[in-house]
Amino acid sequence: MACKNFILINLFCQIVVISLPANRNMKIKILCFGITRDIIGQFEYTTSIENAATIADLKQHLSANFPTFASLKSLRVAINSEYAEDTAILKENDEIVLIPPVSGG
């Protein structure tokens, strides 16, 4: 795993080097229903996204990869079978479900 080094000078004028893991991407699985399936072109879509991304970040990611996705005005999202808001943080191997509005009578 790649690391980023940070050099700090403490109160005693000693140099301290701290190695932190570099940002990495995580893999998530997205299940697509209705119009989202038509836009993405498959029912189950796996992608990588920046570590600790939110639902809002995921929507932006999908809009960048599938421009028509940006035109969706109303979309519910579930993380691991529970509805989530745009501020919810995603974790590695989360299962995301895109739930478009349902119409009909």
Q: Residue 43 is part of a domain; what is its CATH number?
A: 3.10.20.30
Structural domain contains residue 49: yes
Structural domain contains residue 68: yes
Residue whose pair of structure tokens reads 């995301």 in the numeric block = 96
Condensed to tens digits (0 to 9), the pLDDT of residues 32-77 reads: 999 999 999 999 999 999 988 999 999 999 999 999 999 998 899 9
Domains identified in the chain, total number: 1
Which tokens go with 62? 């999908």
Residue whose pair of structure tokens reads 């189950």 in the numeric block = 44
* Half-sphere CA count of 65, side-chain side, radius 13 A: 15
Cα 20 to Cα 1, 54, 91: the distances in Å are 10, 22, 19
Cβ proximity of 83 and 98 under 8 Å: no
Fill in the DSSP letter of residue 36: H
| Domain span at 84 | 23-99
Q: What is the pLDDT of residue 1?
A: 45
Structural domain contains residue 105: no
